[in-house]
Amino acid sequence: MGLNVLVTPRSFAAHSSEPLDLLSDGGLTVLRNPHGRIMAKEEMIAHIAEADAVIVGVDPLDREVLEKAPRLKVIAKYGVGTDNIDMRFAQERGIKVTTTAGANTEAVADYAFALMLAAARRVLPIDKACREGDWTKRTAVDVNGRTLGLIGLGQIGKAVVRRAQGFGMRVLAYDAVRDEAFASAAGVRYAESVDDLLREADFVSLHVPLTEETRHMIGERELRLMKPTAVLINTARGGLVEENALCEALKNGTIWGAGIDVFEKEPPDNPELLSLDRLVIGSHCAASTVQAVDKMGVMASKQVLNHLQQLNGVETE
Q: Which of 146, 207, 278, 284 is catalytic?
A: 284
CA contacts within 13 A on the Cβ side of 85: 26
Residue 35: active-site member: no
Residue of 50, 64, 266, 272 with catalytic role = 266
Q: Compute, in degrees rounded to 10, the torsion defined by CA atoms 101, 102, 107, 112.
A: 70
Taking CA atoms, 79 is separated from 11, 67, 98, 247, 293, in Å, by 12, 23, 9, 28, 9
What one-character DSSP code corresponds to residue 94?
T
Q: What is the distance between the alpha carbons of residues 195 and 27, in angstroms, rounded to a whole number?
A: 53
Torsion of CA 217, 218, 220, 223, to 10 degrees: 140
Burial 297-306 (b: 16+ CB within 10 A, else e): bbbbbbbbbb
User: Which is nearest to 165 in space by CA: 179, 180, 139, 185?
Assistant: 185
Rounded to the nearest 10°, the torsion over CA 190, 230, 266, 237 is 0
Q: How many CB atoms lie within 10 A of CB 308?
A: 21
Task: Indicate the pairing of strand 279-281 with strand 257-260.
Answer: parallel
Does the active-site annotation cover 222?
no
Question: Which DSSP letter does residue 16 get?
Answer: -
Catalytic-residue membership of 10:
no
Catalytic residue among 237, 243, 278, 307: 237
> Where is 128: in which H helix or E strand?
helix 123-131
- For residues 52 and 3, the answer to whether their CB atoms sit within 8 Å is yes
* Residues with catalytic function: 237, 266, 284
